[in-house]
Amino acid sequence: MKYTALITGASAGIGLELATLFAQNGHDLVLVARSEDKLQRLALKFAVKYKVYTLVLPQDLAKHEAPDHIFDALKQAGITVDVLVNNAGFGNYGYFRDTSLRKELDMMQVNIVALTHLTKRFLDQLPNGRPGKILNIASTAAFVPGPLMSVYYASKAYVLSFSEALAEEQRNTNITVTVLCPGATETEFKERANLEGSGLFSMPFMADAASVARAGYEGLMAGDVVVVPGLKNKLTALSARLAPRSFLRPAVKSIQEKRK
């Protein structure tokens, strides 16, 4: 079956790799990110290489009106989206007392509010009985409290909980909901979150964006609810469910602290 997939944060990292996988498999695309130039280059590449149609919608999801602008543009273009990929998101490193309130409010808008808003609009535009798929990008951060990235970890806990609940609500329908929970991955996320030097991103054998995207894509197509790519990340998620919270808090803080 040929889909039209809307992917946010599609200009780099996991979002770019997911867009490439959809294009390789012959699906049309709606790409959303702040950088119109990058998206236009991707649209041209996908048209030439994979013969798929790509609609470019440059939007900043930190602006509360962006989700409505996206779906209003789709309605005007006569496009119904079959797959929603909520990939856009970012983090911020530091003690909460010292970090930028503006950046953290924007983070909550992108990671939580826009994701929820887009999901609602996506479901509203699907005709009754039409199949649909949702892929939300969370993180292994969703399973634990995150000292030094408290708002980011909390936002990903929301994404995981929301996705699992929605998946159960839609269990007997033609709509599936999948949540992807990768661990530390080689993307631009590290620089934007000011994580250079953090123990979390100093560990060996970090995943690459392409392998994470493939795990998410395959899980989405299979209708899986929770996808945790990689054995190390699976063990992290399992141990987080079993370990006392009093142990997890200082353990995560120790990992997060920057190495000198």
List, for residues 68-81, the tens digit of each pLDDT value. 999 999 999 999 99
Report the pLDDT value the prediction gives residue 246, as an integer from 0 to 100: 78
- Res. 237: pLDDT tops 90: no
What are the angstrom distances between the C-alpha of 100 and each of 198, 223, 234? Answer: 19, 38, 32
Active-site residue, 95 included: no
With contact defined as beta carbons under 8 Å apart, do 182 and 13 qualify?
no
Residue of 3, 50, 53, 152 with catalytic role: 152
Instruction: Give start and end residues of each alpha helix (H) in the chain.
Output: 13-24, 36-50, 66-77, 101-108, 115-125, 150-169, 189-192, 209-222, 231-242, 245-256
Specify the range with the lowest mean pLDDT, choosing from 72-81, 94-103, 194-203.
Answer: 194-203
Mean pLDDT of 158-181: 97
| Residue owning tokens 């996320």 | 189
List, for residues 100-116, the tens digit of each pLDDT value: 999 999 999 999 999 99
Beta carbons within 8 Å of 38's beta carbon, 6+ residues apart: 11, 12
What are the angstrom distances between the C-alpha of 176 and each of 130, 159, 219? Answer: 12, 15, 11
- Got the DSSP string for 38-74? HHHHHHHHHHHHH---EEEEE--TTSTTHHHHHHHHH
pTM score: 0.91
pLDDT tier for residue 201 given thresholds of 50, 70 and 90 = low
Percentage of residues of the chain with pLDDT beyond 90: 78
User: Whole-angstrom Cα distance, residue 203 to residue 251?
Assistant: 15
- Res. 202: pLDDT tops 60: no
Domain ranges of the chain: 4-256
Considering the domain 4-256 in this protein, what is its CATH number? 3.40.50.720
